[in-house]
Amino acid sequence: MAEVSFHKEIESLRLGDGDTFYGEGILAVTKALLQSGVAYVGGYQGAPVSHLLDVLVQSESLLADLGIHLETCTNEAAAAAMLGASISYPLRGAVTWKSIVGTNVAADALSNLASPGVMGGALIIVGEDYGEGASVIQERTHAFAAKSSLWLIDPRPDVPTLVHAVEKGFELSEASNTPVILELRIRACHMFGSFPAKDNRAAPHSTRNRIAPARFLYDRLSHPPATFRHEADKAERRLPAAQRFIADNKLNEQLGPDGGDIGIIVQGGLFNVLNGRLTLAGLSDAEGAVQIPTLVLNVVHPLVPDEITAFCAGKKAVLVVEEGAPDFIEQGIGQILRRADLQTRLHGKDLLPMAGEYTPLVVGKGLAAFLGRHGRAAAPLDRWIADVAATRAEVDKTLDAPLPPRPPTFCTGCPERPVFSAMKLLRQEMGPVHVAADIGCHSFATFAPFSQGNTILGYGMSLASAAAVSGTVEKRTVSVMGDGGFWHNGLITGVAGAVFNKDDSVLVVMNNGYSSATGQQDILSTKEAQDGRGKSLDIEAVLKSLGVPWIRHVRTYGVAGVVATLREAMRSSVKGLKVIIADGECQLARQRRIRPEMERKAAAGERVVRTRFWVDPEVCTGDHSCIRLSGCPSLTIKPSEDPLRPDPIAHVNNDCVGCGMCGEVAHAAQLCPSFAQIDVIRNPTGWDRLRRRMSAALMRLLGAPRDTARAPAPSLAPAE
């Protein structure tokens, strides 16, 4: 089950005419899909679009009512291929993933989908993971749209506009027989807002009313010679059809006064940022009443040349506000202007940066430069830019030191942390080892205090990325992969390839039971449960069937055992791939399960043992070597009470879930005797109390002060 429960949201997906939907952007898009009569939905999870699938997975009865087929795909390639249903059938369908990475994975299927084109509307909802908060390489989805002839919608970040974009996206797709990408930036996905809901629409053909198999039609295959006809059809028929639809339906918005000697062309997704700066410059207001002609491109590919020339004609200059590189839109506009022989001066990346997120300050500076260049300098905007710089300089002077970053890290009690502690210990013993890192929570091991990993080549790609390294570098390489990455791609790309090529290297598979980083979605090896989609598939059995010669399981919290197993893998005489399956359930998922259960038991008067760890403040010398091997958020520092030793000492705060990792590290690294495991027994039984009294009496007899002898207890199993 996913990290978030969408109890309320599921209800709002059922809203109809006359209701108002309140919610997150990505859920508004989900609702819009239902209002658009989709027959199928699929995708692969990833921020910022995970919630689309998560909420639908939890909405089984709603999907059944509407006859929608839902597929949680094994990867984005599968999701893109799923859109093949719309090639031969008039079925509307939508898939979703995180871009650019998901689009890269989907690329092969996307090309083959785009070539024959679609009959039913096909919508690809991508979370454009760009700028602050992004976790992937910074590239633009736009490139895929351009090269495969897919249309790209980049709507204004306003909830009703997003909903409208979905509905019109399907129509555009059908009008031009072309799949359409709806691109949503991170903040747009997570934007809370409202829109007037409509009734959901069941598709004419769906799981409830199945359609007859299509007859054979060679031109629906992306296979020569049809591919040559497709290429021509894209240019000669589908593109003009799309441009006509965009113009007729006014998908792009021209705002502000007609005429004027300067204008701005902006991606829909950036309009709100631009409007904020225009407002400051006295050229707009909070309702978007811009006083400078502005063309808002809600569809950024294809451009409609007539719209562009009509907008630019008679203007001295236009500014294109387009985020990221390359400057596809600006280049397109430049070509349109040149061809139309318009002498409008084209500004864009000359005044705005080629790289990086277009934040208010960035756009403000570009806008100020543009206005200044054309004699329209706005004093408040210029003053603001100067003030921001002055304030920042003042603040830096006051703070007098750079502020340390706070990157994300493994959660308290995470089962993956001990593996990286073990790897760090082994590194101290063996010297540097080439570590191929991967995508997933485990990529946090690249941050301090672990600072491990030589490459990240994509999701499930670690082992494949180590192939040549393992053949050319002195020591065996270690590749790390999550179970999510394993099923997504790593099994075939990595394991099968390494076995086939007899690569002599080590792979650690983090078997935490979920696709954790994306929000704990179920995967094939997730334990089968009533409310989940897991299939309890055994990773070891799969590896064996592929012929992996050396497989070990380790319990991750046993740090010494992990070190020993890693050492064995590095030194084993067995040639070929050696796989360590590191078992430990995602702690977030585990806590969500056991915490309410513990609370219920304690309230009901049942015996409950709460385990946590503790650092003895008198024994701790404040060297913090435990922290350098752990990085656990609950293992922190606190002021020393000892005037002779004023440096802060290590301290376990009350967020500790008692995983025992810090104690195990102290043992494995032979760090210090400061750690203690504390078991607090609530509602002790009569036997607990009797033992306590007996031990206490004996200890007092042997000279223990009263207090020390107070709390004997029975032997207890620590938390898993």
State yes or no: residue 422 binds other proteins (CB under 8 A): no
DSSP 73: -
Q: Return d(Cα 221, Cα 308) in angstroms, integer.
A: 35
Lay out the site mask for other proteins across 16-45 (x = CB under 8 A, - = otherwise): ------x--x--------------------
**Minimum distance between the CB of residue 312 and other proteins, rounded to whole angstroms?**
24
Structural tokens at position 532:
């989940």
Q: Return d(Cα 28, Cα 173) in angstroms, integer.
A: 20
3 state SS of 256 = coil
Task: Work out which of 448, 541, 594, 690 binds other proteins, going by CB under 8 A.
Answer: 448
State yes or no: residue 355 binds other proteins (CB under 8 A): no
State yes or no: residue 676 binds other proteins (CB under 8 A): yes
In the region spanning residues 192 to 251, those forming contacts with other proteins, defined by CB under 8 A, are 192-194
State yes or no: residue 162 binds other proteins (CB under 8 A): no
Give residues with Cβ within 8 angstroms of 71, minimum separation 6: 40, 41, 42, 78, 79, 82
Structural tokens at position 471:
């053949």
Of 76-84, 107-115, 150-158, 482-490, the segment contacting other proteins by CB under 8 A is 150-158
Task: Work out which of 9, 158, 233, 327 binds other proteins, going by CB under 8 A.
Answer: 158
Residue type, 579: V
For the chain, state the CA radius of gyration: 30
In the block, tokens 């999550």 appear at 482
- Nearest CB to other proteins, comparing residues 463 and 671: 671
Task: Work out which of 405, 431, 605, 686 binds other proteins, going by CB under 8 A.
Answer: 405
State yes or no: residue 550 binds other proteins (CB under 8 A): no
**Minimum distance between the CB of residue 270 and other proteins, rounded to whole angstroms?**
10
Of 27-35, 131-139, 475-483, 496-504, the segment contacting other proteins by CB under 8 A is 131-139
**Minimum distance between the CB of residue 519 and other proteins, rounded to whole angstroms?**
9
Element (H, E) at 562: helix 559-571
DSSP 315: -
Q: Return d(Cα 442, Cα 446) in angstroms, integer.
A: 8
- Nearest CB to other proteins, comparing residues 269 and 494: 269
In the block, tokens 């039609």 appear at 217
- Nearest CB to other proteins, comparing residues 532 and 633: 633
Q: Return d(Cα 635, Cα 100) in angstroms, integer.
A: 36
State yes or no: residue 669 binds other proteins (CB under 8 A): yes
Strand 122-128 vs strand 180-185: parallel, antiparallel, or unpaired? parallel
- Nearest CB to other proteins, comparing residues 230 and 612: 612
Task: Work out which of 501, 574, 647, 690 binds other proteins, going by CB under 8 A.
Answer: 647
Of 165-173, 311-319, 360-368, 504-512, the segment contacting other proteins by CB under 8 A is 360-368
Q: Return d(Cα 168, Cα 180) in angstroms, integer.
A: 10
Q: Return d(Cα 585, Cα 582) in angstroms, integer.
A: 10
Task: Work out which of 325, 560, 564, 598 binds other proteins, going by CB under 8 A.
Answer: 560
State yes or no: residue 190 binds other proteins (CB under 8 A): yes
In the region spanning residues 282 to 321, those forming contacts with other proteins, defined by CB under 8 A, are 285-288
Q: Return d(Cα 173, Cα 61) in angstroms, integer.
A: 28
Q: Return d(Cα 483, Cα 472) in angstroms, integer.
A: 27
Of 61-69, 260-268, 439-447, 591-599, the segment contacting other proteins by CB under 8 A is 439-447
State yes or no: residue 364 binds other proteins (CB under 8 A): yes
Strand 93-99 vs strand 40-43: parallel, antiparallel, or unpaired? parallel
State yes or no: residue 601 binds other proteins (CB under 8 A): no
State yes or no: residue 597 binds other proteins (CB under 8 A): no
Contact criterion met (CB below 8 Å) for 509 and 486: yes
